[in-house]
Amino acid sequence: MKMKLLLVEDDADFAAALARAMTRRGVEVAHAGDAASARTLADSFQPSHAVVDLKLPGESGLKVVAELAARDAALAIVVLTGYASIATAVEAVRLGAQHYLAKPANADEILAALLRDTPDAALDIASEPLSVARLEWEHIQKVLAEHQGNISTTARALKMHRRTLQRKLDKHPPKPS
């Protein structure tokens, strides 16, 4: 049976390049640029696999992961993000994703993750403690995931001004150690 991949990615250039690469590998691809399009395509396309970007316009990619997993428990889901954090990786796997990859990930890495039979069992745990900056980043990501990616409610929960939170989120995550 041919793999049917639902690609949920708001970066049109990256999505087009990944779709071409997957098509060359014999995968049938349907692309959605946001959560609403992903829902519509999931109904009509009936994917066997999905690649979901964590940061989508409007709703969080985590919500898309949860909805796709609820529709079809056999659906293999890989989450992609440019802002990798342990908290969001754990949340993505808890919601139904099998794997979690940080961008930039190439088509071979994504395909390998999609074809792996078993979900990621555990994340690598560093032997040294995390830096204070990294701990802050992880906590912000955890609270953001709890509030489905809503910046305003996350800022209120963190007792932080919304613009301050946005500035922190616009920065690259600190190195883990």
Which CATH number is 4-115 given? 3.40.50.2300
Instruction: Give me 92's structure tokens.
Output: 């993505």
Closest CA to 79 of 110, 124, 116: 110
Q: Is pTM beyond 0.95 here?
A: no
The boundaries of every CATH 1.10.10.60 domain in the chain are 132-170
Instruction: Give me 149's structure tokens.
Output: 């990616």
CA distance 73 to 44: 17
What class does CATH assign to 132-170?
mainly alpha
Q: pLDDT tens digits, the chain, 177 residues: what are they?
A: 689 999 999 888 889 999 999 999 999 999 999 999 999 999 999 999 999 998 888 888 889 999 999 998 889 999 988 766 777 777 888 888 888 888 778 888 899 888 886 554 444 444 455 577 777 877 887 788 788 889 999 999 999 999 998 888 877 666 655
The boundaries of every CATH 3.40.50.2300 domain in the chain are 4-115
* Overall size of the chain counted in residues: 177
For 12, counting Cβ atoms within 10 Å of its Cβ (0-12 exposed, 13-18 middle, 19+ buried), the class is exposed
Contact status, residue 28 vs residue 3, Cβ threshold 8 Å: yes
